[in-house]
Amino acid sequence: MTQDELKLAVAKAAIHYVVEGSIVGVGTGSTANFFIDELASIKHKIKGAVASSEATAARLRAHGISVFDLNDVSSMPVYIDGADEITPQGAMIKGGGAALTREKIVASVADKFICIADGSKLVDLLGKFPLPVEVIPMAQSVVMRKLNAIGGEARLRLKDGQPLLTDNGNVIIDVHGLQIADPVAMEAEMNNIVGVVTVGLFAKQGANVCLLGTSEGVKSLTF
């Protein structure tokens, strides 16, 4: 199976976690896009969705799915999103799509985080995928120095030769070369750096379930 076929398989499997009559939290990225397209087939059964990015909101609306502001939502049964890496314990690296802060906020409101990913995303040790950190622009240089001191190589993420800006107007610093043995501790350490908005480690509050696409079918991991 191709990677896209695996992503489609887990997107279809995730539909079973959607609670009828509820609002669904929806993530950002290529796997989440497959889920949005599948969600359209049952849009008459849900109240709507909360989007973790402007791109996700636009895709939901294009399918005729109502998009709610999170400030108007007190609870959600599930948040469904992909991951750049996930461990057998449910800790994740996210933020390849630069939506890490909004993803973490929306996920914090949901009762369950359902991670959907192809099998290549399952790793024993986080860090091969560069760790995204969202940073206030004026703090870029000082934060990069402090991230380098932790042991990685901090690089400003660019798009078309210019700093990529998030939906929040901030920059992304990707930290390369990390081996994250204690993701909960590293999440706390990086989040405490002044100027950091959030780090793309979802470890203190990781996934509850991972639907993993493999050549043998969709495997369900529960944490």
Dihedral sign (CA 1, 55, 19, 199): positive
Contacts of 38 by beta carbon, 8 Å cutoff, 6+ apart = 8, 11, 12, 14, 15
Taking the CB of residue 62, how many other CB atoms lie within 10 A of it? 11
Taking the CB of residue 129, how many other CB atoms lie within 10 A of it? 20
Q: Which two tokens stand for residue 211?
A: 């639907």
State how far the Cα of 60 lies from the Cα of 157, in Å rounded to an integer. Answer: 27
Catalytic annotation, residues: 103
DSSP H or E run through 158: strand 158-159
State how far the Cα of 83 lies from the Cα of 202, in Å rounded to an integer. Answer: 9
Measure Cα distances from 15 to 32, 100, 115, 134, 194 in Å.
12, 23, 12, 30, 39
